[in-house]
Amino acid sequence: MPGAIYAEGLVKTFGDVRALDGVDLDVPEGTVLGLLGPNGAGKTTTVRVLTTLLQPDSGRAVVAGTDVLKHPEKVRRSIGLSGQFAAVDEYLTGRENLQMVGQLYQMKAKAAKVRADELLERFRLADAADRTAKTYSGGMRRRLDLAAALVVSPPVMFMDEPTTGLDPRNRQALWEVIKELVAGGTTLLLTTQYLEEADHLAHDICVVDQGKVIARGTSDQLKAQTGGERVEVVVHEPEMIAGARAVLGRYGIADRGQDEVSVEDHTRMLTVPVSGGAKLLAEVIRDLDAVGVEIDDIGLRRPTLDDVFISLTGHAAALTEEENGGSRAEDGRGRRQTKEEAK
Amino acid sequence: MSTMNDSLVIARRNLIRMTRIPEMILFGLIQPVMFVILFTYVFGGSMSIGGSTDPDVYKNFLMAGIFAQTVTFATAGAGAGIADDMHKGLIDRFRSLPMARGAVLTGRTLADLVQTALTLLVLAIVALIIGWRPGYAEPTNFGRVMAGFGLLLLLGYAFTWIGALIGLSVRTPEAATSGGLIWLFPVTFISNAFVDSSQMPSWLQPIAEWNPFSATVQACRTLFGDPGVSPSDAWPMQYPVWASLIYSILIVALFRTLSVRKYRRADG
């Protein structure tokens, strides 16, 4: 029994470019699949095929139990699409946009109106309901776009880079909405360049690169492929590096034939592969304290999906400014968490 | 799934958009009014219609031509609007919805029809103010005048489908605007709209007389009782009302089919 979203051997070429090179997917009902990859990996093309917008050259796809190529019109009744470019009419008000979409989903005018009001309330757009979408901020437009995709509460949702270009606060807010949706039983396929986002929202992750799925599994499975955890310590004074190094050396384990403590002098940061988790971190802190090493920062670092991506493809997931910002934010958050665990 | 319902929803959307960009409506009105005034007062004194050089005759002859040219200019607006839609994310939303395939285009052409009707109304009032008198040459009545405007609207509607195909074929709305306009100049000038086609070179005359656009102009002159109805033997000039109807319906049938097919295949 195939899942709510199922694809087999999807191929699509544009001229010389093989945008999809045999993509297989299977998303069980009620789960979230994160399609993770850099720009041009084939994420959007996959979504366009599955949402009936694009005919593949070959392959088969079934969405909500219906063959996408044979009965696209039937598939359209069961799906919602939210894209990376907010697909709303900017000269229409928020309310008019949602009403129009409702009517095009074949709702009666009155029912579409009631539903529009519900959604405006739920997405915190009620105050702006009668302003044209042109006047909305980026976050508001994205919420309106998502509301439009949810007009009929479709059982299967596609979100193509839903948070690209959003500031962290709006991204967080959108994540909450997505989690609510999934808790309500919606099957979701989500594409993202943000490794953190896939980690946070998706049950399963497919890493795509150059039109192919190059790895799949849960976030933990993918991380396990990349190797274990590390302790990172930033000492207060450069003179303390030697002392810290001696302590950390006792905890190091062989990691791919390397049990050396690595040191970055200019940042006063020492890194060592370990096993033992948070409990071990507490011991390390006690030992460092015993030899008089003052620490500015210490953390247990688990491999991020960024590390996964680099180890799979040999290049980073994305080189955009936004992505760099995103990764930095993630590191900061990760460290805070591990400190709490250590206590 | 109902084509008519979906088309009306989209038409409503386009009409709301038009009211939110009122300067577009305004420019659409200024242009034909300017043409009426320019042609009447600049050319009016030197034109000979059916042997008469009376400016009043030319004025009454001219109006059907200006009306017809005005309705065909809606082509550019429809083309630009559709080209604009096709290059925005909104078209992906429409294409992923369980709506009738042709509705995005039909809705747009219906909205343009409403705008054309509004423009024609204003233009007719201006024409009456500066001295157009239906029944100037032959007796007519209200019903015949309205039938003439009906044929004009049908011609305008047919031409917006040509605009739709142009809009779907170009890369930018700007290209659709110019692509929608340039070919209209030969079509509307190699016709009986502004001059007596019997005075054209003999090789050009049949082109003008068989031009679908001329059929509607001739039909309007006949129905309005305007002067300068062409006495030509060409079939569209002899039976202009039928010719106008047939031409317009054929244009809609052909260009609607081509446009909807192109829309369905568009990969965005």
Q: Three-state SS across A209-222?
A: ECCEEEEEECHHHH
Query: Comparing A122 with B252, which gets the higher pLDDT?
Result: B252
State percent of chain B over pLDDT 70. 99
Residue from B90, B91, B94, B108 whose CB has the most chain A CBs within 10 Å, to mutate: B90
User: ipTM, 2 decimals?
Assistant: 0.87
Is the CB of residue B9 less than 8 Å away from at least one CB of chain A? yes
A with B: how many residue pairs have Cβ under 8 Å apart?
78
Residues in chain B: 268
Arithmetic mean of pLDDT, B147-162: 97
Cross-strand partners of B44:
none
Q: Is B189 on the interface with A (CB under 8 A)?
A: no
Select from 3.10.310.30, 1.10.3720.10, 3.40.50.720, 3.30.70.100 the CATH code of A225-342: 3.30.70.100
Instruction: Give contacts of B 60-99 with A, CB under 8 A.
Output: 88-99
Note whether B42 contacts A: Cβ–Cβ < 8 A: no
Query: pLDDT band at B1, cuts 50/70/90?
Result: low
Q: Which chain A residue's Cα is nearest to B85? A: A89
Question: With 60 as the cut, is the pLDDT of residue B237 above it?
Answer: yes
Partner residues linked to A21 by β-bridges: A11
- Note the pLDDT tens digit of each residue in B38-82: 888 888 878 888 888 888 899 999 999 999 999 998 898 899 999
Choose the mutation target among B15, B97, B265 for the interface with A, i.e. most A CBs under 10 Å: B97
Residue of A nearest to B18 (CA): A91
pLDDT < 70 regions, chain A: 1-2, 86, 226-227, 254-259, 315-343
Contact B267 A53 (CB under 8 A): yes
pLDDT digits (tens, 9 = 90+) for B109-147: 999 999 999 999 999 999 999 999 999 999 999 999 999
- Residues of chain B with Cβ-Cβ distance to A89 below 8 Å are 13, 17, 90
Range of the domain at B125: 3-265
- Which residues sit opposite A33 in a β-bridge? A189, A204
Contact B96 A79 (CB under 8 A): yes
Residue B20 has what pLDDT? Answer: 93
> Which member of A77, A83, A106 has the closest CB to residue B89?
A83
Q: Does B20 touch chain A (CB under 8 A)?
A: yes
- Domain A5-223 classified CATH 3.40.50.300? yes
A76 contacts in chain B (CB < 8 Å): 96-98
pLDDT at residue A303, rounded to an integer: 75
Host H or E run for residue A73: helix A72-76
Cα separation values, A162 from A16, A87, A171, A172, A174, Å: 29, 12, 9, 11, 8
Does B1 lie at the interface with A, CB-CB under 8 angstroms? yes
Cα A180 to the center of its chain, rounded Å: 16
Query: Looking at chain A, which residue has its C-alpha nearest residue B19?
Result: A91
Task: Write down the pLDDT at residue A302.
Answer: 77
- Residue ranges per domain, chain A? 5-223, 225-342
What is the rounded average pLDDT of the residues B174-190? 90
The pTM score is 0.80
For B241, the 3-state DSSP assignment is helix
pLDDT at A50: 95
CB contact under 8 A, B267 and A96: no
Which of A76, A91, A92 lies at the smallest CB-CB distance from B98?
A76
**How large is the angle between the packed helices B55-72 and B103-129, nearest 10 degrees?**
160
User: How many domains is chain B built from?
Assistant: 1
pLDDT digits (tens, 9 = 90+) for A313-329: 776 655 433 333 333 33
Given a cut of 90, whether residue B222 has pLDDT beyond it is: yes
Cβ–Cβ of B13/A148 closer than 8 Å?
no
